[in-house]
Chain A
Amino acid sequence: MKLQTKRTVIGLLGILFLLSLVLVQAMEVVRRREEAGITTAHIAVPVTSKSCVDCHGQPTSNPGIVDHWKGSTHALKGVGCVECHLAQKEDVDGFDHYGAHIATVVTPKDCSRCHEKEFKEFDGSHHSKAGNILASLDNFLAEEVEGFRDDESGHHFFNPHSPTPGRPDITEVNGQASAMVGCLQCHGSKVALMGRDGSKITVDDLLPDEKGVPTNLDALDLIVKTEDGRPKFHPDTWPNTGIGRLNLDGSKGSCSACHSRHDFSPRRARQPENCGKCHLGPDHPQKEIYEESKHGVAFRDLKEHMNLDGESWVLGKDYTQAPTCATCHMSGHSRNDGKVTHDPGERLSWTNRPPVSLVLDTDAEGKVVMETDPKKRRELTVFSAEEKRGNMKQVCAHCHTPDYINGFYKQYDDFVVLFNEKFAKPGQAIMGELTKQELITKTQFDEEIEWTWFYLWHHEGRRARHGASMMAPDYAHWHGMYEVAERFYMELIPQAREIADHAEEHGDKDKADSVRTVINEILARPEHDWMPKKPPAELATSVDDGDNSGDDSVTTPDTSSVEDDDATPPEAEESDTTSDADSDGE
């Protein structure tokens, strides 16, 4: 090869080498970009929390707490243990712990030191009031029907009726166990310290001022403390992360109900499973409803593309693939400048919680306006249901056209109104009349009909309405209205008639008649017209016969039942079953 050729070859190879290095350069750029997402950030332990981490991070201590914290944004920004657990000298639950004055329970008040806006929103929400269930039906159920509590003294222990082999320490039965574990872990306990006389010292005894400092010093003296000066929590009330927890400093709620400690992962709070700790089950299956809906199906499929780890998580900007619970009820979106709300009620237009759904106009205190006079109602309303619905529509509009959204709301409204008018209000009227006539006691759940009614609105009625609100047809119908209808026609009405008959037998004909009047007036309405009218006695017997009541009523020759033109002809039995089978097949 000639020298000149060699020189040229060297020159060309040099350029090729340069090109290969440009390839290397490109790889480097790509790698840097990727790296930003994959390498874990190094966590610097703030000096104030170094000794906490040194001790609690040991395998023999609680490394889980420390590891969780290391994965948190708090850790990244230098917010350590003491920053949140710090207690003021006056705090009732503060104690000295290796040189720091700290408290075990971190309340929303503590969080509000940094997260003030979130605290205020949450404080105004229905969530924060979840702890005030003392007088509610559900609470009565758990505390007294399922458990035991003496109304007069508040005493809630009773003696075991035989020993538990192997556990000689079981000498008494805590009647509040079901409420503690069942109700309060979602609703929130009233956090209590142990009193020396065995009493619970709660926020009611301490009467804290605005800063959370207790004003009733007598209560302080009663508190049981461990040898190292740590106040003892009453195990009925702590541990608890219920969302409406009533804390010793007077604040309501628990941020860790949704933002699990100690990593406070936004990723987790964005996912439906997070809400599913409480919003599931027979009485409010929101989680299951969501999973059935198109929204939930899309989420499961597209979860990985939803930027769940993103620092910002604004619908329309950071993701649009599918909504989670948080997306619709709380998270920011591109039409409200990404403003997150910690009050999920800000976007709800109906409350489906009570027996009869209410329009969610709220007053200055955030309470549902019950006023019926339109003018007064308008005056009282501070935050109208229409406005709230408008807020929700803004979210919907990221994926749906206005016609579509309005169409959906029409279907939803129609459904709620149907339930209200056909079953809820009549049911309420019947139950009200029975109570008024004193044919049932004031005590709840001691008569069968009270269970029936509770099932109707609290379980089946809510399932139906929630199913309609979040596009789950099966919950709206088969788990919902179908069961509502069966409960109404086949249990509530017959049971009410039976009570009336019973009253008549005992000489209370007036009472019986007034109840019967209410029932008959209801059943005379066109929406109940499909049902053949029969004398009450006969209907009552047929119920006793068993589940074939419908067949009986048709086959029993009865002239009164065919007086209407469109009453079911005798041969309808067969055609009914056929149509039923048809609809099943669909």
Chain B
Amino acid sequence: MSQIKRWFQERLPISGLQLAELTNEPVPNHLRRWWWCLGGTPAYLFVVQIVTGILLAFYYQPSPETAYQSVRRITEEVNYGWYIRSVHKWAATLMIAAVILHQMRVYFTAAYRKPREINWMIGMCLLLITLNIGFTGYSLVFEQLSYWGATVAANICDTVPFVGVYAKQLLLGGDSYNENTVPRFYILHAAVLPVTMIGLLVIHIAILRLQGVTELQFEDEPADGPQHFDFFPDHLYTELIAGLVLMILLSVLATIFPATMGPQANPLITPEEIKPEWFFYATFRWLKLFSGTVAVLSMGFIVFTMFVWPFIDSGLRRLTGLDDISFWIGIVGVFLLVGLTTWEALDAH
């Protein structure tokens, strides 16, 4: 045993102690509280998505002729195919929800303020990538709803002045949905976007480690007690618990609400009721409220505002002198988001 250890240490000159030193970041005390330690949830779900996604890729065939049949085959024929597919679908849903919750937490604790503006913007990129992975993944099933969702989304791109038409062509690989589209969505969903995401995540976490986690002080804690605890093994256990709870949740959801398949995409018939995935409900409703270009541009403006919010926040605070102004704006934003989503969910058309 010790020989093997020595063999390795001669070649990899790093000791367990050094490793522990490197990884054993002191964790702020507020992460002992269960509601404050969910930052790892999206990351855990991302791992689940990578594993199940790779598995699905073993059977999925990205071409319009075969896409639907291969998904059907995964769902109906392959051993546990329905389970893996359902876990992938539910993990996606939970991941998007977790990302949004994480962002809200950061926002309402004003953790984006100086010096963390850059990390906020990286986080915004991660949000957009997550949403795009969700969108492209949904389209891969090639069922009626996802087909028409993609068509509508591409034509929304088209309404952006000047660049829109190019964005649409880039997205679809042509003027309309064609034989290039599914492979394109596939490579975006399974390679380009996830790899970008991994890169950004590394930077996101590296910056976090460099700056340290924003520390929150709770009133019921003694101010003179230890302010940190060990990552290993204490916080790891917490993450393991969170992970297991997620796995159980995913398995139960997959069993009770397995991923289904709508009718196969038919370019000649638009379904009576088309809806995007739930995370685009608010956007979809917004686009219905305002016409064409106005809606798209205003949407873009909102995203841009969110992107640079750390700077707007500091400007607003300076102008108004109210330290809490972003908090209240955030409350309005959340109500708007929840309202639009519910509206879309309840409205048939």
Please tell me whether chains A and B touch each other in their complex, using a CB distance cut-off of 8 A. Answer: yes
Q: Which residues of A contact B (CB under 8 A)?
A: 1, 3, 6-7, 9-10, 13-14, 16-17, 20-21, 23-24, 27-28, 31, 35, 39
Tell me, rounded to whole Å, the shortest Cβ–Cβ distance linking A14 to chain B.
Answer: 6
For the complex formed, measure the closest distance between the CB of A9 and the CB atoms of chain B, giving whole angstroms: 6
Q: Does B8 contact A (CB under 8 A)?
A: no
Q: A16-B248, A20-B248, A24-B80 are in contact. Are A3 and B254 (CB under 8 A)?
A: no
Bound complex: CA A28 to CA B237 (Å):
31
Instruction: For the complex, give the distance between the alpha carbons of A16 and B237 in Å.
Output: 16
Once the chains are docked, how many angstroms separate the CA of A23 from the CA of B247?
13
- With an 8 A cutoff between CB atoms, is B82 at the interface? yes
Provide the bound-state CA to CA distance between A20 and B249, in Å: 9
**A28–B251 touching, CB < 8 Å:** no
User: Considering only CB atoms, which chain A residue lies closest to B72 in the complex?
Assistant: A39
Taken together as a complex, chains A and B put the C-alpha atoms of A388 and B177 apart, in Å, by 69
Measured CA separation A35–B78 after assembly (Å): 11
CB–CB B251/A9 < 8 A: no
How many Å from the CB of B128 to the closest CB on chain A? 32
Cα distance A39–B258 when bound, in Å?
18
Contacting pair A21 B237 (CB below 8 A): no
Q: List 10 A-B contacts (CB under 8 A).
A: A1-B32, A6-B241, A9-B241, A16-B244, A17-B247, A20-B247, A20-B255, A27-B83, A28-B80, A39-B77
CB–CB B241/A20 < 8 A:
no
B251 partner, pick from A6, A7, A14, A24, beta carbons under 8 A: A24
Interface string of B232-265 (1 = CB under 8 A from A): 0110011011001101100110110010000000
Interface positions of B from 69 to 94, Cβ below 8 Å from A:
76-77, 79-80, 82-83
CA of A95 to CA of B256, assembled, Å: 60
Q: Beyond A6-B237, A10-B240, A10-B241, is A28–B79 a contact (Cβ under 8 Å)?
A: yes
B76 touches A3 (CB 8 A): no
- Contact present for B251 and A13 (CB under 8 Å): no
Q: Would you call B77 and A23 a contact (CB within 8 A)?
A: no
B244 touches A21 (CB 8 A): no
Q: Given contacts A9-B241, A13-B241, A24-B80, are A3 and B248 in contact (CB under 8 A)?
A: no
Residues of chain A with a CB closer than 8 A to B237's CB: 3, 6-7, 10
Contacting residues, chain B, for A28 (C-beta < 8 A): 79-80, 82-83
A14 to B80, Cβ gap below 8 A? no
Partner of A24, one of B83, B241, B245: B83
Who on chain B is nearest to A5 by CB?
Answer: B237
- Which residue of B has the minimal Cβ distance to A38? B76
Contact of B255 among A7, A9, A13, A23 (CB under 8 A): A23
CB pair B248–A13 under 8 Å, yes or no, is yes
* A24 contacts B233, C-beta separation under 8 Å: no
Distance in angstroms from B317 CB to nearest chain A CB is 38
Residues of B within 8 A of A1 (CB): 32
**Contact partners of B234 in chain A: CB under 8 A:** 3, 6
- Whether A21 lies near B241 (C-beta < 8 A) is no
Complex: how many Å from CA A10 to CA B241?
A: 6
Q: Distance in Å from the Cβ of B123 to the closest Cβ of chain A? A: 29
Q: Which residue among A9, A14, A20, A23 has the maximum number of chain B CB atoms within 10 Å of its CB?
A: A20
**B252: A residues at CB distance < 8 A:** 20, 23
For B251, the chain A residues whose CB sits under 8 A away are: 17, 20-21, 23-24
Chain B residues, Cβ within 8 Å of A17: 244, 247-248, 251
Contact status B255-A24, CB under 8 Å:
yes
In the complex, A248 Cα to B80 Cα: how many Å?
57
Interface size on B, residues (CB 8 A): 22
Measured between beta carbons, the chain A residues less than 8 angstroms from B240 are 10
Residue-wise, chain B 14-47 has the 8 Å CB interface mask toward A (1 for contact) of: 0000000000000000001000000000000000
Taking A3-B237, A6-B234, A6-B237 as known contacts, 6 extra A-B pairs with beta carbons closer than 8 A to each other, sorted by chain A number, are: A17-B247, A20-B252, A23-B255, A24-B83, A28-B82, A31-B82
Q: Which residues of B contact A23 (CB under 8 A)?
A: 251-252, 255
Q: Which residues of B contact A27 (CB under 8 A)?
A: 82-83, 255, 258
Chain A contacts for B82, CB-based, 8 A? 27-28, 31
Cα–Cα distance between A21 and B247 once the two chains are bound (Å): 9
What are the 8 tightest A-B residue pairs by CB atom distance, in nearest-first order?
Answer: A13-B244, A20-B251, A6-B237, A20-B248, A17-B247, A17-B248, A10-B240, A23-B255
Scoring B residues 44 to 67 as 1 if CB is less than 8 Å from chain A, else 0, what string do you get?
A: 000000000000000000000000
For B76, what are the chain A residues with a Cβ–Cβ distance below 8 Å? 35, 39
A14 cross-chain contacts in B, Cβ below 8 A: 244
Cα-based distance from A7 to B240 in the complex (angstroms): 10
In the bound complex, how far is the Cα of B241 from the Cα of A3, in angstroms? 12
A13 touches B245 (CB 8 A): yes
Residues of B within 8 A of A31 (CB): 82
Question: Which residues of A are found within 8 Å of B80, using beta-carbon distances?
Answer: 24, 28
Nearest CB of B to A346, in Å: 44
Provide the bound-state CA to CA distance between A23 and B238, in Å. Answer: 26
Residue of B nearest to A27 (CB): B255
Cα-based distance from A31 to B254 in the complex (angstroms):
14
Q: Min CB distance, A31 to chain B, in Å?
A: 7
CA distance A17 to B252 in the complex (A): 9
What is the minimal beta-carbon distance from A5 to any residue of chain B, in angstroms? 9
Given A13-B245, A31-B82, check contact A6 B238 (CB 8 Å): yes
Residues of B within 8 A of A20 (CB): 247-248, 251-252, 255
Query: In the complex, what residue of chain A is closest to B244 when comparing beta carbons?
Result: A13
Decide: B247 and A24 in contact? CB cutoff 8 A. Answer: no
Q: Say whether B77 contacts A24, CB under 8 Å.
A: no
Q: A9: which B residues are within 8 A, CB to CB?
A: 241
Give the docked Cα–Cα distance between A7 and B234 (Å).
Answer: 10
Q: How many Å lie between the Cα of A6 and that of B175 in the bound state?
A: 56
Docked complex Cα distance between A179 and B76 (Å): 53
Measured between alpha carbons, how far is A213 from B79 in the docked complex, in Å? 55
Which residues from A are CB-within-8-Å of B248? 13, 16-17, 20
A10 to B244, CA, bound (A): 8
Which chain A positions have C-beta within 8 A of B79? 28
Residues on the A chain within 8 Å of B245, using CB: 13
- Among residues of A, the one whose C-beta sits closest to the C-beta of B233 is A3
Tell me the minimal C-beta distance from A33 to chain B in angstroms: 13
Q: How far, in Å, is B345 (CB) from chain A's closest CB?
A: 28
Distance A39 CA – B82 CA, assembled complex (angstroms): 15
What's the Cα separation between A14 and B245 when bound, in Å? 9
A24–chain B nearest beta-carbon distance, Å: 5
- Inside 8 A of B241's CB, which chain A residues have their CB? 6, 9-10, 13
**Within 8 Å CB of B244, what residues of A?**
10, 13-14, 16-17
Q: 8 Å CB contacts to A: which residues of B292-325?
A: none
Q: Are B238 and A24 in contact (CB under 8 A)?
A: no
B31 to chain A, nearest CB (A): 12
**For the complex, what is the distance from the CA of A87 to the CA of B237, rounded to whole Å?**
78
Q: Within the assembled complex, what's the spacing in Å between the Cα atoms of A586 and B255? A: 59
**Residues from chain A with Cβ under 8 Å of B32 in the complex:** 1
**Closest-CB distance, B86 to chain A (whole angstroms):** 9
What is the CA–CA distance of A14 and B248 in the complex, to the nearest angstrom? 9
Q: How far is the CB of A330 from chain B (nearest CB, A)?
A: 37
B240 and chain A: residue at smallest CB distance: A10
- Measured in the bound complex, the distance between the Cα atoms of B233 and A28 in whole Å is 36
Cα A14 to Cα B246 in complex, Å, equals 11
The answer for the CA separation of A13 and B258 in the assembled complex, in Å, is 22
Q: Give Cα A17–Cα B255 distance, bound, in whole angstroms.
A: 13
Contacts of A13 in B (CB 8 A): 241, 244-245, 248
CA distance A39 to B75 in the complex (A): 12
Residue of A nearest to B75 (CB): A31
Give, as a whole number of angstroms, the nearest-CB distance from A453 to chain B.
Answer: 63
Closest CB of chain B to A42's CB: distance in Å? 11
The winner among B76, B79, B233, B241 for most chain A CB atoms within 10 A is: B241
Q: Nearest Cβ in chain A — how far from B49, in angstroms?
A: 18
In the complex, A10 Cα to B247 Cα: how many Å?
12
